[in-house]
Amino acid sequence: MVPPTAGSSHEIDIVSEELIIDVPQVMEPAQWPECCIYRVPKRLRQINNEAYTPKLISIGPFHHGKDELKEMEMLKVRYFKDFCYRTGKCQKDLASVIEDNEVKIRHCYAENFDISSEDFVKMVLLDSAFIIELFLRADAGGRTEYENDYILSKPWLKLNIAEDLILLENQLPLFILEELHNQFSRSAKNNYISFLKLAYRYLLNLDEEVQAKKEVKHFTDLKRYYYYPSDPETGKAISDLYNATKLYEAG
88-129 residue pLDDT tens: 999 999 999 999 999 999 999 999 999 999 999 999 999 999
- Between the CA of residue 117 and those of 67, 101, 161, 238, what are the distances in Å? 22, 11, 27, 49
- Cβ pair 117, 95 in contact under 8 A: no
Q: What pLDDT, on a 0 to 100 scale, did the predictor assign at position 236?
A: 47
Q: What is the pTM of this model?
A: 0.80
3-state secondary structure of 37: strand
Question: What are the beta bridge partners of residue 37?
Answer: 109
**What is the rounded average pLDDT of the residues 149-153?**
94
pLDDT digits (tens, 9 = 90+) for 174-201: 999 999 999 999 999 888 999 999 999 9
The end-to-end CA distance of the chain, in Å, is: 77
